[in-house]
A and B are shown apart, each in its own frame.
Chain A
């Protein structure tokens, strides 16, 4: 039997993109408008706006720096324009140089280097125009499933997530890991109460203690506030859907990680060390998670939604858009009572609960959808007509001063 494969864009560093994004990356929030203006005449350019201020300290600035470099190095970015003011907390030139190590076309400019705002906008637009035709005309070539890095997430979870969408993702993850690929789960808060199951699957004693360390850190930080987290974790939507406690939500959530051993734990903004199944340490907040996955090199995300009101949000839950063009999202529905909004989803896992399809059949549909998406087929959210832009969030652990 021939091994599964997909058709992607091979970059000069060996990574394989599944989309050809022309990325405009501001290095701080003061440069968001500059990014928007540079991109405004290039329909295929994507200005990735975010919250990096000048008011963060050491570790948070380092993580944001790593994150921006990671976003630029993501294989779905075909070419990258890095823009700044010149007085930003992070260096446009340095970030551009680190991204350029991939061999992809990279340019940087600041208001300072161009002499004026108007000149920076002119130069940015001219560079994007040059890249646009080169980026779009590239052909796809055959790539192995081992070139795929898949983020996995659940949201709007209810009791159906644990018996439909999440186990379907778990089977697909097992299959991807067997094929030599990579999968990344996160949402450390939502591992509380299920960490023993993950620790038992750690590839090494070090990974085992890392899992325990990151889960204890978030649990201790919640307890230290003295605030009862009920009503926030689980969320009001989770509770309406029949989930009572955080550990119940966590136990359902980790089912999407499948059954294979866990190869590593890495911090938000960084990349996993090698292939296999990895944990990215990040809270369960979509605008931060998506930046983290894209910076980690993920090319696509599988997102399992339970049902109820969260399933009725047509955009990507937790945002006002369809997601990041750098990270196409495949959405799965679990709750059969929400089948009237199944058009918002790419895979309908709720058939499992109706007895219409087996879990294996749904997992196979998801696998086929992964391959089709990786080969260029748009997901529902990729074509979502967002009414506004999204400001993505940097992860902040220290003080804002």
Chain B
């Protein structure tokens, strides 16, 4: 099977995580295969943005100000509401530690 025929893959490292790590580039609206920590497929997801490999995609809805979990731990909080399939990065996720006061 050629790489072009394969769906992009996204790795969910810990079952508590609210985001997955894209292992391949994904176009907006593309179906992505979700893999667990042992690289076994367990579901799919439709992206709402085009996302570069190794960036994060939300695997569930995340409210504004809510903590985002990756590697089973808090990596920051959202600066706006996030939908399942959104690209999660500096435009909607901020550090909960180094932004004094902040939103």
Q: Are B90 and A247 in contact (CB under 8 A)?
A: no
Cβ distance A368 to chain B, nearest Cβ, rounded Å: 24
Q: Are B55 and A245 in contact (CB under 8 A)?
A: no
Most B C-beta atoms less than 10 A away, residue of A219, A245, A251, A255: A245
Task: For A244, list chain B residues within 8 Å (CB).
Answer: 56, 75-76, 88-90, 93
**Segment with Cβ contacts to B, from A3-11, A221-229, A261-269:** A221-229
Bound state CA distance, A337 and B25, in angstroms?
11
Q: Are A223 and B54 in contact (CB under 8 A)?
A: no
Most B C-beta atoms less than 10 A away, residue of A193, A222, A241: A193
Q: How many residues on chain A are close to B (CB under 8 Å)?
A: 32
Interface residue B13 (Cβ < 8 Å from any Cβ of A):
yes
Task: For A353, list chain B residues within 8 Å (CB).
Answer: 11, 23
Q: Of A160, A246, A355, which is within 8 A of B54 by CB? A: A160
Bound state CA distance, A285 and B70, in angstroms?
26
Interface residue B98 (Cβ < 8 Å from any Cβ of A):
yes
Q: Of A192, A197, A229, A337, which is within 8 A of B73 by CB? A: A197
Known contacts A160-B54, A239-B90, A355-B39, A246 near B73 by CB under 8 Å? no
Bound state CA distance, A376 and B83, in angstroms?
54
Task: For B94, list chain A residues within 8 Å (CB).
Answer: 245
Interface residue B80 (Cβ < 8 Å from any Cβ of A):
no
The 0/1 profile, CB within 8 Å of A marked 1, for residues 71-85 of chain B is 101111000000000
Cβ distance A281 to chain B, nearest Cβ, rounded Å: 18
**Interface residues, chain B, CB within 8 Å of chain A?**
11, 13, 21-23, 39, 52-56, 70-71, 73-76, 88-90, 93-100
Interchain residue pairs A-B with the least CB separation, the first 4: A248-B75, A242-B55, A245-B76, A159-B54
